[in-house]
Amino acid sequence: MAVSIKDVAKEANVCPSTVSRVINGTVKVKPETRARVLEAIRKLNYVPNSTARALKLRRTDTIGVILPTITGAFFSDIIRGIDDIVVENGFHLIVSSSRAHRREAEMLLQFVMADRVDGVILMAPMLSDETIRNVRLSEFPIVVLNKEVGDLDLDSFVVDNYHGAFQAIMHLIEHRYRRIGMICGHPENLDSQQRLRAYKDALRQAGLKIENDLIVEGDFQIKGGYSAMLKLLELDNPPDAVFVANDSMAQGAYEAIRSKGLTIPDSIAIVGFDDIEIASYMQPPLTTVRFPAYHLGSLAAQSLIRTIREGRIRKERIVLKTELVVRSSCGC
At 332, the pLDDT band (50, 70, 90 cuts) reads: confident
- 301 is a domain residue: no
Amino acid letter, residue 302: Q
Q: Is the pLDDT of residue 45 over 80?
A: no
Q: Is the pLDDT of residue 47 over 80?
A: no
- 110 is a domain residue: no
First and final C-alpha spacing in the chain: 61
Higher pLDDT, 111 or 198: 198
Q: Is the pLDDT of residue 3 over 90?
A: no
Q: Is the pLDDT of residue 52 over 80?
A: no
Higher pLDDT, 136 or 304: 304
- Give the whole-angstrom CA distance, residue 308 versus residue 91: 11
- Decide: 45 and 7 in contact? Cβ < 8 Å: no
Residue 111: which region, alpha, beta or left (left: phi > 0; alpha: psi -120 to 50)?
A: alpha
Q: Which pTM does this prediction carry?
A: 0.79
Q: Is the pLDDT of residue 50 over 50?
A: no
At 164, the pLDDT band (50, 70, 90 cuts) reads: very high
At 25, the pLDDT band (50, 70, 90 cuts) reads: low
At 57, the pLDDT band (50, 70, 90 cuts) reads: very low
- 95 is a domain residue: no
On average, the pLDDT of the chain sits at 90
Q: Is the pLDDT of residue 174 over 70?
A: yes
- Per-residue pLDDT of 203-228, as tens digits, reads 999 999 999 999 999 999 999 999 99
- 179 is a domain residue: yes
- Decide: 107 and 41 in contact? Cβ < 8 Å: yes
Which letter, b or e, does each residue of 58-87 get, where b requires 16 or more Cβ atoms within 10 Å of its Cβ? Answer: eeeeebbbbbbebebbbbbbbbebbbebbe
- Give the whole-angstrom CA distance, residue 165 versus residue 322: 9
Half-sphere exposure at residue 270, Cβ-oriented, CA atoms within 13 angstroms: 35
* Total domains in the fold of the chain: 1
Which letter, b or e, does each residue of 110-126 get, where b requires 16 or more Cβ atoms within 10 Å of its Cβ? Answer: bbbbbbebbbbbbbbbb
Find out whether the peptide bond into 125 is cis, omega within 30 degrees of 0. no
Q: Is the pLDDT of residue 58 over 70?
A: no
- Give the whole-angstrom CA distance, residue 307 versus residue 301: 10
Higher pLDDT, 140 or 63: 63
- Per-residue pLDDT of 263-308, as tens digits, reads 999 999 999 999 999 999 999 999 999 999 999 999 999 999 999 9
Q: Could you tell me the residue range of the domain that residue 250 belongs to?
A: 161-291
CATH number, domain of 181, equals 3.40.50.2300
Which segment, 16-20, 96-100, 108-112, 314-318, is predicted with the most confidence on average?
Answer: 96-100
Q: How confident is the model over 111-139, as a mean pLDDT?
A: 83
Give the start-end residues of each E strand in 98-177. 119-122, 142-145, 155-159
At 165, the pLDDT band (50, 70, 90 cuts) reads: very high
- Per-residue pLDDT of 61-96, as tens digits, reads 899 999 998 988 899 999 999 999 999 999 999 999
Q: What is the pLDDT of residue 56?
A: 46
- 239 is a domain residue: yes
At 36, the pLDDT band (50, 70, 90 cuts) reads: confident
Amino acid letter, residue 6: K
Q: What is the pLDDT of residue 54?
A: 45
Q: What is the pLDDT of residue 49?
A: 57
- 282 is a domain residue: yes
Q: What is the pLDDT of residue 95?
A: 95
- 296 is a domain residue: no
- 38 is a domain residue: no
